[in-house]
Structure 1
Amino acid sequence: MKLKNPMLVVTDIDRSVEFYKKVFGLHIIMDFGANKTLTGGLALQTVETYKNFIGTNDISFGGNNFEIYFEEDDFDKFAERLKECDIEYIHPIMEHSWGQRVVRFYDPDKHIIEVGENMKVVCKRFLDSGMTPEQVAKRMNVPMKFINACMR
Structure 2
Amino acid sequence: MKFSGPLMVVSNMENSKRFYYEVLGLEVVVDFGANVTLTGGIALQTKETWSTFIHKQDSEIVFGGNVAELYFEEDDFDGFIQKMNDITNINYVHPIVEHSWGQRVVRFYDPDKHIIEVGENMIMVVRRFLNSGLSIEETAIRMDVPVDYVKSCLE
TM-score (normalised: structure 1) = 0.98
2:95 to 87, 92, 95: 92
2:79 to 73, 77, 97: 77
After superposing on structure 2, the runs of 4+ consecutive aligned residues of structure 1 that deviate more than 2 Å are: none
State the number of aligned residues.
152
> Map of 1:3-152 to 2, 5 A cutoff?
3-57=3-57, 58-85=60-87, 86-152=89-155
Secondary structure of 1:40's match?
coil
Q: Unaligned 5+ residue runs, structure 1?
A: none
Q: Distance in 2 between matches of 1:3 and 1:82?
A: 31
Secondary structure of 2:30's match?
strand
RMSD after superposition: 0.7
TM-score (normalised: structure 2) = 0.96
Q: Unaligned 5+ residue runs, structure 2?
A: none
Secondary structure of 1:55's match?
coil
Q: Distance in 2 between matches of 1:76 and 1:108?
A: 23
Q: How much does 1:143 deviate? A: 1.4
Taking every aligned residue pair, what percent have the same amino acid on both sides?
57
